[in-house]
Each structure stands twice: as structure tokens, then as C-alpha cells.
Amino acid sequence: MKFLPIAVLLWFFHMDALCQDYELKKYSQQLRVHHDNDFFVLTDRYYSSGLFISYQKMLSKGIFGSNEQLKFRLGQEVFTPSQTQSTNTDLFDRSYAGFSGLQTTWSLAAQSELFKIQTLFGIAGINSGAGGFQRWYHRAIVISDSPIWIDELSDSFHANLYLSYIREWNISPNPFGINLAIHPQLALGSRDIYTEAETVFHFGRRNIIGESIAFERLGNNSREIYFALRFAYKRVFYNGLIEGNLFGDNSPVLRSTTKNLLKLGFDFNHRFNRNDYRFGVRYNSKETPNSKGHAYIVLSYGFSW
């Protein structure tokens, strides 16, 4: 065990040496597919899955000049109680909830800082299509009993605003770099009201904050290969996919939320020329008084041009 840090260091140098050289370019557009799923950690509850496709582009002339980026992400999220085969809704630790929506992100990078403004508009409930998609997924791909999806959240429209600030410090240079970032976030809207404070450590070869896959930024295709450790505290004031729409909801199953959440994460990231790869694991403590902590896998691939 005492040789583990040395082995990790040697592995990074080995991978860095094996990477084949290619022409350095400044790609300004990217198409990305992202998938979250707890099936890979042998559960099927709470945040069960998420499927997203996004397009992002560097702006040649933004509001404040250069270093601005715009992203559009279309996604669908699936949430279920842990009692997926029960018809007794009194036992549910949360309701069945699906959400489909469009998120827009504007970001501005400085030397060691990143500012983000995000808007989210979408539909929760049966018309989100999430319940039907999960049932099809279990029949056609997983070949297992599907959650029965009774008394799902009623259809409602949601709008949300997210404000983020990231500040980063470089502790050690490449190739085995160490970076520390803090990431406070504020959410306001009918779906989410919360504050979150995250600390992230990056270990390995990485580009600067405004050009790194770490923050889904474009502008530099220099290879990156690193892993990240994430620690976050989230203070929840309202969760519309558990408590119902903030502006009124007649759903048959609504629950109260846990106000204080702990979130942990691990990522492995690799950028090679046009291609961005990410594998990660996420964990959060229980979101309702009667639920449990939950973990899921993150998979992502982006192609730039």
C-alpha cells in the first residue's frame, strides 16, 4: 500500500509517454453524449438514470469579448422510489418523477476563474416520457422487472436559474499536476432552490481552467489525462421533483426533503485530440427522511471540431 502513490505517478508518466503526437488545434465546437445510471452499481432507485445530448460552441465575439462559451443540453431524467414493485404508495420514500428539458449554459473564463449562468426549462410528469422510456429500457435491454410507475408526479412546467463561480489554484505543474478548485452554486426556480459548495482536487495532466475538459471547456486539444476527487455540501430549500412544483401541485405522492446533503465523487477524464472521455462515480446522502444514500455511474463522450 505504501508504494501506491509511486505506482500512480509512474502510471501517469507511462500513459503520457504512450500518447501519440498529433497536430495541436483550437476546436471551437463540440457534440457530447452523457449518461448517468445506477444500474451499473446494482441498484435501481432514486436518481435512476439520466440521458443528455449537448452542443457547445466557443463564441468568436461574446458579451465581454473572448473566452465565452455557449452550450445547449437536451436531457431526460428518471427518478423512482426504492419500492419499485409496490402498489402501496404510503410506503414510497419519494414519488415517481420524470423530467425532460432544455438547459442553456453561458460561461466566461478568466485566468484562474470561471463564471457560469444556466437556465433550465422543462416538463415534469407523464408528458416528460421518462416513465415510458424506463419501462421500454427494462423490457428491451435490461430484461428485468420494470418499476411499475404508479401515481407519478402530475404534469407541470418548470423554470430554473443556476449561478456558478469557480476559482482554481495550481499546486503542482504538469505532467503530474495538482489543481484545487472551489465551486459555489446557487439555484432558484420552481424545480430547485438550493445553495451548494463544492471542492474538487484534480491529479494529472490538465489544461488551464478555460480550456479543460474538467469544466467542459473548448479551445485546446492538448491531451489531458487525470482523475478528480469531489466533495460537496448542499443546502436544499426546495426540490420540485420530490415536493411538487413550487407554484402549486396536486400530485398524489409528495414528500418532504432532507435539507442537508453530502455529495462525493470520483472522475477519470481523458482528452485526446478531438475526443473527450469521462468515467465517474457519484454519491449523495439521503434526499428524503425515509430514503437512503445513493450512488450512480457517469459516462460521457464528446467529439470536437
Per-residue pLDDT tens digits for 168-204: 999 999 988 999 999 999 999 999 999 999 999 999 9
Q: If DSSP codes are grouped into helix, strand and coil, which group holds residue 81?
A: coil
**20: which 3 cell numbers?**
501519440
> pLDDT band for position 44 (50/70/90)?
confident
- What is d(CA 7, CA 103) in angstroms, rounded to the nearest whole number? 41
Beta carbons within 8 Å of 304's beta carbon, 6+ residues apart: 27, 29, 30, 218, 221, 274, 275, 276
Mean pLDDT, the chain, whole residue set: 92
Assess whether pLDDT exceeds 70 at residue 15: no
Assess whether pLDDT exceeds 60 at residue 8: no
Nearest partner of 145 among 137, 153, 157, 156, judged by Cα: 137
| β 68-80/97-109 pair status | antiparallel
- What is d(CA 242, CA 95) in angstroms, rounded to the nearest whole number? 6
Which of 51-55, 61-65, 104-108, 168-172 has the least mean pLDDT? Answer: 61-65
Beta carbons within 8 Å of 282's beta carbon, 6+ residues apart: 36, 263, 264, 265, 295, 296, 297, 298
Between 52 and 2, whose confidence is greater? 52
Between 89 and 21, whose confidence is greater? 89
Position 246 scores a pLDDT of 92
The CATH number of 4-10+34-304, from 2.40.128.140, 3.40.50.720, 3.40.50.920, 3.40.50.1100, is: 2.40.128.140
- What is d(CA 298, CA 265) in angstroms, rounded to the nearest whole number? 10
Q: What is the arithmetic mean of pLDDT over 153-179?
A: 96
Position 137 scores a pLDDT of 83
> pLDDT band for position 139 (50/70/90)?
confident
Q: What pTM was computed for the model?
A: 0.90
